[in-house]
Amino acid sequence: KAGVTQTPRYLIKTRGQQVTLSCSPISGHRSVSWYQQTPGQGLQFLFEYFSETQRNKGNFPGRFSGRQFSNSRSEMNVSTLELGDSALYLCASSPDGNRETQYFGPGTRLLVL
């Protein structure tokens, strides 16, 4: 079975721009979660989608949004980029939303200049 895939793998943007990241979960997985990882703050939970509905949300500003499609693929959007948004963005999928069965993708590394 193919693993979680994320595109693009690397991205450079400038302040004020917006960006959309994509995540394709493992086949059959209905839950997709997004995380931000930075050296200073570590790994932080952004949000979780299950069957196209946002089920849980972390403490991030409204500039961070996401959605999930009927095929379980998910996108994450960040508007009005700030320098502090430079990070590794990870998505993880699981069949049912349980953390015990969650697998991470390789991540998208975003650099904001």
Partner 1 sequence: QKEVEQNSGPLSVPEGAIASLNCTYSDRGSQSFFWYRQYSGKSPELIMFIYSNGDKEDGRFTAQLNKASQYVSLLIRDSQPSDSATYLCASFGNQFYFGTGTSLTVIP
Chain contacts with partner 1 (rule: CB under 8 A): 33, 41-45, 56, 58-59, 90, 99-100, 102, 104-107
CA–CA distances in Å: residue 11 to residues 40, 80, 89, 110? 20, 15, 11, 5
Cβ proximity to partner 1, 63 vs 99, nearer residue: 99
Least separation in angstroms between CB 19 and partner 1: 20
Least separation in angstroms between CB 107 and partner 1: 6
Least separation in angstroms between CB 16 and partner 1: 29
* Tokens representing residue 62 in the block: 């409204």
What is the DSSP pairing of strand 108-112 with strand 103-104?
unpaired
